[in-house]
Structure formats: C-alpha cells, structure tokens
A and B are shown apart, each in its own frame.
Chain A
C-alpha cells in the first residue's frame, strides 16, 4: 500500500453561530492515494463542500477547524502550517475547481489574465511569460483559438468554456491534488460529459489525484476508483466504486442508489429517501440517519455506530455490520 497523498484524520469543522454550533463536518477521516480519483458523495448539507474548503483552510469565520483534526498532505500537517506556507500550497500543490463557472471568474478581467495570475503568484513569472503559459494552458484544456479567447472576458464565454478556464487555472501549476466541487452540476448534460472527459484525460496525462465532490452517482460510476459517502457531517461508507454499486452496505447508500434512474428502468416512480438531512446544529442522537432509515431499531436511536470494516477496502458506519441478521429480518417482514 503506497503512502497516501492526502490523509484526513478526524476532521471536525464547526460553525459557531448565535443559534448554536453547527457541526458541519464532524469527525471525517479519508485518504487519497497518488494518482487516485476519489468520489465524495452525499446530499446537499452533508458536509462535502466544507470538507473541501477545510483541506485548503478556506473556511471563513464563524467556521473553525477544531483542535484534534489532522490533514496530512505530502507528509506535512496542513493545519500546522502558517498562513503564508498555506498560500504556497493553495493553487500550487492543491487546486480547486468550483461548481459555478458563471460566478467563479472575476467579471472585470480577461480570462487569460486570470489564468496568468496563478503563474504570477506561484512561479513569480513575468507578465509576458505568465500570459504565454496561460494561453498554452487554455489550449491544453481544449479551448479553440486560445490566444484570442484569452483576451475575452468571462461573460463572452459559455458555461462549458468558463469551466475549462477554471480547470486551466487549477492545473496551471500541475498540482498533486485537484479538488473538483460539483464541477459539472451547473452545466448542460452534453457539456457535463465533455468536462468530465477532459478531467479524466488531464488526470491520465499528469497523474494528479482528484477528489471529485458530487451528488451525482452517475458521475461517480464513470469517473472514480473509490467512493466515500457522507451523511450528517460523517463518512458513513467507503469502498471501491464497483463494490459500492454491487454491495452497498449502509442503508443510506442503498437509498441513494435506489433513487438513481437506470437504463431500462421499469419503475413508475423513482424511490426516494424519506425526510431531509437534519440541521447540523442538532444531529439526531445515536445514528444520524436512524429517523430516515427503514431498517432502524432501538439500538440505532441510542448508540452512535462506529465505522465497521466489511472487508479490507470496504467500511460502513452502521449497526447492521455487527447485527446482519437484522437486515434479513427486515427484508422478510
């Protein structure tokens, strides 16, 4: 087993508001190996994006990464770095692509200028060198006539083109880790496929690790090698992608998969998971999913389940892992 590139241990990012403490990320542990693509999956509000922002230490007050959290990256604990050292990591060793290409580019500068800015920050490149590199990078992400497009302002480009620009900015310094936070959610379906294909291709070329945040299991199936499912600020299940689709263990993962349409699906209605994600200021006692879970019993409301290994590579945060007979009982009744 190689040394992981990124290893998050017991990450807790809490927001201390007047209405109470929102435990948005509450004890997340996960690892990403060099060159690996990991999918981070879950509903809105489960803590995916806050996890991503925590890795880059971009959580704004009143949000705070609590003591005891560790984020090991290339052998260093990012949480122990100074702000200055951290800036040398951001955009350089770890880069991020945001969900909304419409708003993630500054409307008052040309896109070439904004891509070039990255090289100016990290490589201290001259204005002219940075511009040349930016045009080359725009070419690499498949933007036609890059030297002309570089002089365009963001509003002159389509959503797909803008997302390519964001990817160009993120990959400019050849980072070891790329965090893509719902990179295709805001795009048309046809463009989504192109952007995902581009990401996969660039990853094959450069060997960058990718943390792909999404709520779209279809995207996960095609893109990632391993899946981490989050619920209520916690990791509830993780396994290789084939294993997740073939043998999901956690009732929440099963619910997500059942809610997904499949080709040749004859169901009249897609299945849904009843209820909504509870507020992070008041996670339910016991298992955080128990009041939405059709398999829950008394133990689930009383005792918070730990992570149970199903196999070497598969783990689930569910009491069913230690009482599997419960599952059989629930399905027969």
Chain B
C-alpha cells in the first residue's frame, strides 16, 4: 500500500502538466465556438429565413397553443404566434442586449480601471472607494428599482442600465493590472523617452491589461443573458410583444404543462448561449492566464535572431 501510494504520488508529481492549450483545440471549446457561430448567424439572418413574423397573431382560435407540426416546427403560443419565428427573433434581441450591455461595461470598467491604476495616489483611492460603495448595492435590486420607475423602458435604456451596473468588477481587475503594468520597465522607458501620460496609459498600459477584460467580458455575456431573462420574467425587461428569450419564457410559463413547447424552445436557447459563453470564457482564461503578463512569457520563446 505505501509503495503504491508513493508511486501514485510520484506519478502525480511527474506527469506532464496540461499546457495552456491554444484556443480551439479542446473539443468543448470547439463545440462552444460552433454553437456561438450558429447562434450568431441565427440572430443576424434567422428572422429573414422564416416566413412568419414573430408578432403576427395568425389565428387566435385555430392556432392557439398548437403542438409542433410541419407548418409550425416549434408549435404556436397562446396568442397563436409562431414559436420558431419568435425564437429566431428573440435570440437576436437577447444576444444584442447582452453583447451591447457587456461592451458598455467593458469600456466603462476598463477606462475607469486604467485611470485609477495609472493615476494612483488619492485619485485611485477615491475611485476605488466609490466602487466599493457601488458594489454594496445589489445589482438586481437596483435594476428593479430603476426599471420600475422607467417604464416602459426602451431597448437602448435597458442596454445602458445593464451595462452601467456591470462594470465594477472589470474596473477592479483592470485597476490591479494597471497598477502593476505602469511600473514595468517598458512604461518607465516610455516616460524616459518623453511620452506624455495619456500616451503611456493608452499605448503601454491599456494593451497590456486587456487579457482579464476579454475573459471577464466573455463570461459576462452569459450572466447578462440570464439577467435579462430574469428581468423580462419579472416583466420589467424587454416589453411585449417584442420577443426576447426572457419575455417568451415569462409569457409561456403559465401554460408550461399543456403547451410545453413554448417554454422549452427559448429555455434551450438560453441554456446553450450561457453554456457556450462560459465554456469560451474558461478556455480564454486558460489561454490568456491573467497571472501571466505577456512580457513574462517571452523567455519561453526561441530566440531566432542573434546579436
């Protein structure tokens, strides 16, 4: 027994560690990328490929909550609307909200973090205490409160609200990276060559803090899809009759036993989107390990040109 456990330990210690796989080699990552490409195509061209309009009430009597059939592959909902048409359009709306909101978060958070980390001193202290304060307010409660007052909310308003409540974590991460990068040799060298502060921040700090932003942003898309679905489910997100995946879900959940297809389809799409973005985010985390700054990896590269 001790011999075997020793052997096991030795094996554990000497087995080759899984090197950070280049992106897209792991099967899961490839599946996630494929799913996102398909969903992206659906979101962009899907609504043009299916002849029913997502808001058309086809026949409120004959086509109310009909099961999947040739004419309506995903069935119809309780207002006799074609579920496939609504899913195609809803995917577009939900993905658009999520991606645009996350871009807003990433932009604001990165700018804020670079400014705080690069400036340092009391500016940094003030900006970070402000983040602490903002983080102490639960995001969902804040959104519910604002959306209850701003009702009905236009799509751009929803995007801005979700985006502007989602950047605190990114700002913190970026600030920590910027703090480290601004004192690295190449930043000092740039200052020694006369580069003004904005140029050092823009060219030398910003590009070297983007890895965690890319990872956090990818992971955040999944979160925002769920958040938007939740808000819509509460009736304060995207408004009827515009189909986001969340509104469809909310609309159909009461009939989920008798007309399961109207709940099932948007539910599946939400799950696939969230899983795909999370898998991709994890793969990016492996590929762009934020603890390993780009400058430190260079010793592992061959050095083809000699002095």
Please state if B184 and A103 are interface contacts (CB–CB under 8 Å): yes
Please state if A107 and B294 are interface contacts (CB–CB under 8 Å): yes
Please state if A96 and B298 are interface contacts (CB–CB under 8 Å): no
What distance in Å separates the Cβ of B291 from its nearest Cβ neighbour in chain A?
16
Please state if B295 and A158 are interface contacts (CB–CB under 8 Å): no
Shortest Cβ distance from B297 into A: residue: A155
Which residues of B have CB within 8 Å of A66?
Answer: none
Q: How many residues of B contact A (CB 8 A)?
A: 31
B287 within 8 A of A: no
A260 within 8 A of B: no
Please state if B193 and A121 are interface contacts (CB–CB under 8 Å): yes
- Pick out which of these stretches binds chain B: A68-76, A160-168, A217-225: A160-168
- Pick out which of these stretches binds chain A: B128-136, B203-211, B268-276: B203-211
What distance in Å separates the Cβ of B297 from its nearest Cβ neighbour in chain A?
8
- Pick out which of these stretches binds chain A: B71-79, B105-113, B139-147, B299-307: B299-307
Query: Chain A 41-77 against B: per-residue CB contact (8 Å), 1 yes, 0 no?
Result: 0000000000000001010110000000000000000
Distance in angstroms between the alpha carbons of A160 and B306 in the assembled complex = 7
What distance in Å separates the Cβ of B9 from its nearest Cβ neighbour in chain A?
36
Please state if A106 and B203 are interface contacts (CB–CB under 8 Å): yes
Please state if A122 and B208 are interface contacts (CB–CB under 8 Å): no
Which residues of B have CB within 8 Å of A107?
Answer: 186, 208, 294-295, 298
Distance in angstroms between the alpha carbons of A152 and B199 in the assembled complex = 22
The answer to whether A103 and B194 touch (CB under 8 A), given A61-B121, A156-B301, A159-B307, is no
What distance in Å separates the Cβ of A143 from its nearest Cβ neighbour in chain B?
9
State which of B194, B208, B297, B303 has its C-beta within 8 Å of the C-beta of A106: B208
Distance in angstroms between the alpha carbons of A92 and B185 in the assembled complex = 19
Q: How large is the interface on A (under 10, 10 to 19, 20 to 34, 35 or more residues)?
A: 35 or more
Which residues of A have CB within 8 Å of B57?
Answer: none
Which residues of B have CB within 8 Å of A61?
Answer: 120-121
Q: Which of A113-150 contact B (CB under 8 A)?
A: 117-118, 121-122, 149
Please state if A87 and B307 are interface contacts (CB–CB under 8 Å): no
Please state if A117 and B299 are interface contacts (CB–CB under 8 Å): no
Please state if B306 and A104 are interface contacts (CB–CB under 8 Å): no
Distance in angstroms between the alpha carbons of A88 and B196 in the assembled complex = 10
Please state if A96 and B192 are interface contacts (CB–CB under 8 Å): yes
Distance in angstroms between the alpha carbons of A194 and B184 in the assembled complex = 26
B189 within 8 A of A: yes
What distance in Å separates the Cβ of B201 from its nearest Cβ neighbour in chain A?
13
Shortest Cβ distance from A162 into B: residue: B307
What distance in Å separates the Cβ of A192 from its nearest Cβ neighbour in chain B?
10
B183 within 8 A of A: yes
Please state if A117 and B301 are interface contacts (CB–CB under 8 Å): no
> Could you list some 16 contacts between A and B, CB below 8 A?
A58-B188, A58-B191, A98-B188, A104-B189, A105-B189, A106-B190, A106-B204, A107-B186, A107-B298, A108-B207, A108-B294, A117-B193, A117-B195, A156-B301, A158-B306, A170-B193
Interface residues in chain B, defined as those with a beta carbon under 8 Å from any beta carbon in chain A = 120-121, 183-186, 188-196, 199, 203-204, 207-208, 294-295, 297-299, 301, 303-307
| Extra A-B contacts (19), CB below 8 Å, given A90-B193, A157-B303, A158-B303 | A56-B192, A58-B192, A90-B191, A91-B192, A98-B185, A103-B184, A104-B185, A106-B203, A106-B208, A107-B186, A107-B295, A108-B294, A117-B193, A121-B194, A121-B196, A155-B297, A158-B307, A163-B307, A194-B307
Interface residues in chain A, defined as those with a beta carbon under 8 Å from any beta carbon in chain B = 56, 58, 60-61, 87-92, 95-96, 98, 100, 102-109, 117-118, 121-122, 149, 152, 154-161, 163-164, 166, 169-170, 191, 194-195
